């Protein structure tokens, strides 16, 4: 089995300081500051196979972006072993930089005031891409992303969705072997998100590029990733296939009942209380989590005793699994 | 490192810098003409009043006309030497904007230098066109010796490199300091006085002149202007070149050490 990324016992500590509020606090901090050491990544181990797509998940401040920064060589780890495509990213070798790309949803690498095509020509020179390869890749990506009409427009005049497509193009022009994606669909509307996901899947199918993704949109992770790595407080909390992640909370099924009138009777409410119900404000809709073996009986019971107007059942959404898993580990 | 790819990279960055200049038409014209208008409004009337108040006598051996010629050359040399792109470097570090550059197989300092050269060439043309126009229509009196002008170009480029390196060092301070603008403004104020940009260095007492002649500051205005006004001999110029080269080597070594240390402190904020 060939691995593109191998991390062993990785740590990253950041130093910051604490300041008391108010004028007095500001004055005091001029002379004495209380230093804080925050461990953004703790004892982290990870192996990523070549051609795999993995999703780094976790709440804000969990350490996933720090991990991405370390893998791309932007930030230097405190201790630990790290190999990406056989290189140590910390050394920031040009050969390594030619083989990876980082696309950030919240940072642009395109020159703001001029058309993206000019930035692409600069990237051609930076990555020393042959003219023919550059033209072929440019044409191919322009077609796949459907951006021929915006490529010559100054970047500042483009919509977020168009800009994001061009950011992806900029990252892929040199055909990286590993693509790091940090929140690639952030702020995009549903259609634009879907387009980006489709493009990434098609591109991966064709090029077999290893992709490491962080996203707050679970739809990204579910659509793209074969494997999830959950990070919490800098530590790895879960590492496995998406299907296994869904079963972390047991074999429960989620079901939503809608009612034609509000349910206010305490006896009626009691029936549902054992299934961790989540009611809407009007008490006309409830979501419950039912163990698989009791599913039929509970449904029958509810249908017989409540004014049910609609039922929908789905597997537990990935964000819910994540929230519950983190809450359970926290307690 | 292959030389040719670096050359083509620099060429592309310079072209992009020019594209950016032309992207905003109003900004482009303001950048081109504002320094000249400010020169006439502020420096011309200021010195006119000083000389009128002094009964139009020579001040430190300079007539009003010579003083104006001195300041016209100051304007020209400062537009060529004193580029401003590395002013933004501290902000870029603080807000994580240098992140994309760290991922490129090209040093960040090389990119900054290429932008600086792009700005310098652009400013050179602005000065060349506007001065040709002003001289052609007899609006200013500025004797230009073409051979001196050509011979002074390598010296002016070294002076510009020195300014760039110093600004780079101030920018890199942002790896450790949250705000570096106070530091930079203080340096610029000191540099304005000690470079001869406000008034010729001969206005200072002799002992002070002897001291600052050994610092980098006079290379930002006074020495280049003296060279262009043909008030410095080639022997003096070669002495200045030697001292400038030594100072430049030391500053490049300092800048490179600071960058290497700083980049290991970089946290790529906001990503």
What digits encode the pLDDT tens for the residues A95-114? 999 999 999 888 888 988 88
pLDDT value of position B164: 92
- Which residue did the predictor score with more confidence, A239 or A22? A239
Helix axes A266-273, A295-305, angle to 10 degrees: 170
- Mutation pick from B17, B94, B103 vs chain A, by most beta carbons of A within 10 Å, is B103
pLDDT value of position B32: 65
For residues A291-318, give the mean pLDDT: 82
Q: Which residue intervals of A79-159 are DSSP H helices?
A: 94-97, 116-126, 131-145
Does residue A172 register a pLDDT over 90?
A: yes
**Which of A101, A104, A114 is nearest residue B20 as measured by Cβ atoms?**
A114
Tell me the per-residue pLDDT of A104-161, one tens digit each, with 9 for 90 and over.
888 888 988 889 999 999 999 999 999 999 999 999 999 888 899 999 999 999 988 8
Q: Which of residues 145-164 of A touch B (CB under 8 A)?
A: 154
- Assigned CATH for A251-330: 3.30.70.250
Regions of chain B with pLDDT less than 70: 1-3, 25, 28, 31-33, 35-36, 40, 85-87, 270-271
Instruction: For chain A, say whether B143 makes contact (Cβ under 8 Å).
Output: no
- CA A269 to chain B, closest CA, distance in angstroms equals 46
Confidence of residue A250 (pLDDT cuts 50, 70, 90): low
- Look at B96 and A73 and tell me if their CB atoms are within 8 Å: no
As given in the structure block, the two tokens for residue A40 are 């953004």
For residues A24-34, give the mean pLDDT: 75
pLDDT value of position A101: 95
Q: In what order do the strands lie in the sheet with A79-84?
A: A34-49, A3-18, A79-84
What residue of B is the nearest CA neighbor of A91? B264
From the list B232, B65, B96, B88, the residue with the least C-alpha distance to B167 is B88
What residue of A is the nearest CA neighbor of B266? A75
Does residue A316 register a pLDDT over 70?
A: no
pLDDT value of position B1: 47
Question: ipTM of this predicted complex?
Answer: 0.79
Size of interface A-B (CB pairs under 8 A): 78
- CA dihedral B21→B26→B31→B35, nearest 10 degrees, is 170
- Look at B268 and A97 and tell me if their CB atoms are within 8 Å: no
Handedness of CA B207, B210, B215, B221 (dihedral sign): positive
Contacts 24+ apart (CB under 8 A), B123-128: B123/B79, B123/B80, B123/B83, B124/B79, B124/B80, B126/B31, B126/B32, B126/B79, B127/B75, B127/B76, B127/B79, B127/B80
pLDDT value of position A249: 59
| CB < 8 Å to B5, chain A | 125, 128
Maximum CA pair distance of chain A? 75
- CA B207 to chain A, closest CA, distance in angstroms equals 39
As given in the structure block, the two tokens for residue B154 are 């390598």
Does residue A303 register a pLDDT over 80?
A: yes
CB B47 within 8 A of CB B200: no
From the list B268, B271, B259, B262, the residue with the least C-alpha distance to B110 is B259
- Beta pairing partners, A232: A235
| Domain extents in chain A | 3-11+46-246, 251-330
- Beta pairing partners, A13: A39
Architecture of domain A3-11+46-246: 3-Layer(aba) Sandwich (3.40)
Burial class (CB within 10 angstroms; exposed 0-12, middle 13-18, buried 19+) of B243: middle
Q: Do domains A3-11+46-246 and A251-330 have the same CATH topology?
A: no
Tell me the per-residue pLDDT of A190-227, one tens digit each, with 9 for 90 and over.
888 888 899 999 999 999 999 999 987 778 888 899 89
Helix axes A160-172, A116-126, angle to 10 degrees: 20
Does residue A54 register a pLDDT over 90?
A: yes
- Beta pairing partners, A180: A102, A212
C-alpha B48/C-alpha B43 separation (Å) is 8
Handedness of CA B147, B148, B149, B150 (dihedral sign): positive
CB B199 within 8 A of CB B62: no
Mean pLDDT, all residues of chain A: 86
Map tokens 């992770």 to a residue. A221
What residue of A is the nearest CA neighbor of B12? A122
pLDDT value of position A135: 95
| CB < 8 Å to B13, chain A | 122
**Which of A65, A100, A118 is nearest residue B16 as measured by Cβ atoms?**
A118
C-alpha B112/C-alpha B122 separation (Å) is 15
Q: Which residues contact A126 (CB under 8 A, 6 or more apart)?
A: B9, B104, B105, B106
């Amino acid at each position: 089995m060939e691995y593109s990324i191998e991390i062993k016992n990785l740590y990253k500590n950041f130093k910051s300081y604490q300041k008391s509020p108010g004028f007095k606090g500001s004055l005091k901090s001029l002379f004495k500051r209380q230093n804080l050491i925050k461990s953004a990544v703790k004892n982290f181990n990870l192996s990523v196979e070549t051609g795999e797509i993995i999703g780094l998940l976790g709440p804000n401040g969990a350490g996933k972006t720090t991990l991405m920064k370390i893998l791309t060589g932007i930030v230097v780890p405190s201790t630990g072993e790290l190999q990406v495509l056989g290189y140590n990213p910390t050394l920031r070798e040009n050969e390594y930089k030619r083989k990876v790309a980082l696309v950030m949803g919240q940072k642009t690498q395109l020159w703001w005031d001029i058309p993206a095509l000019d930035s692409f020509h600069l990237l051609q020179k930076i990555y020393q891409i042959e003219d023919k390869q550059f033209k072929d890749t440019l044409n191919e990506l322009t077609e796949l992303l459907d951006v021929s009409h915006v490529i010559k427009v100054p970047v500042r005049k483009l919509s977020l969705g168009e800009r994001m497509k061009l950011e992806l193009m900029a990252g892929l022009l040199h055909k990286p072997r590993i693509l790091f994606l940090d929140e690639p669909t952030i702020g995009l509307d549903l259609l634009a998100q879907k387009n980006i996901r489709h493009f990434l899947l098609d591109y991966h199918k064709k090029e077999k590029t290893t992709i490491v993704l962080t996203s707050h949109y679970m739809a990204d992770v579910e659509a793209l990733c074969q494997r999830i790595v959950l990070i919490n407080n800098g530590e790895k909390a879960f590492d496995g296939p998406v299907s296994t992640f869904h079963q972390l909370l047991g074999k429960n099924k989620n079901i939503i009942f809608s009612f034609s009138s509000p349910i206010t009777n305490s006896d009626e409410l009691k029936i549902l209380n054992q299934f961790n119900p989540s009611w809407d404000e009007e008490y006309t809709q409830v979501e419950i989590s039912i163990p698989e073996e009791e599913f039929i009986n509970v449904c029958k019971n509810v249908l017989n005793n409540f004014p049910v107007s609609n039922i929908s059942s789905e597997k537990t959404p990935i964000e819910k699994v994540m929230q519950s898993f983190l809450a359970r580990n926290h307690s | 490192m292959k030389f040719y790819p670096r050359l083509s990279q620099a060429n592309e960055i310079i072209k992009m810098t020019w594209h950016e200049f032309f992207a905003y038409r109003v900004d482009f014209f303001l950048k081109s003409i504002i320094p000249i208008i400010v020169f006439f409004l502020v420096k011309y009337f200021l010195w006119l009043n000083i000389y009128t108040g002094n009964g139009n006598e020579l001040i430190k051996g300079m007539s009003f006309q010579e003083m104006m010629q001195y300041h016209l050359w100051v304007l020209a040399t400062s537009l060529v030497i004193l580029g401003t792109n590395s002013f933004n470097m501290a902000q870029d570090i603080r807000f994580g904007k240098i992140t994309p550059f760290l991922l490129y197989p090209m040093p960040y300092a090389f990119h900054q230098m290429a932008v600086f050269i792009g700005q310098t060439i652009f400013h050179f043309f602005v000065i060349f066109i506007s001065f040709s126009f002003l001289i052609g229509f007899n609006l200013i009196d500025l004797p230009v010796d073409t051979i001196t002008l050509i011979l002074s170009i390598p010296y002016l480029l070294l002076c510009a490199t020195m300014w760039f390196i110093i600004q780079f060092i101030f920018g890199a301070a942002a790896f450790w300091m949250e705000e570096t603008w106070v530091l930079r403004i203080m340096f610029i104020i000191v540099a304005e006085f000690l470079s001869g940009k406000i008034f010729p260095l001969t206005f200072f007492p002799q002992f002070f002149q002897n001291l600052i002649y050994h610092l980098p500051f006079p290379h930002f205005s006074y020495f280049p202007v003296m060279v262009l006004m043909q008030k410095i001999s080639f022997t003096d110029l070669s002495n200045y070149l030697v001292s400038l080269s030594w100072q430049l080597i030391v500053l490049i070594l300092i800048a490179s050490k600071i960058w290497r240390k700083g980049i290991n402190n970089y946290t790529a904020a906001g990503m």
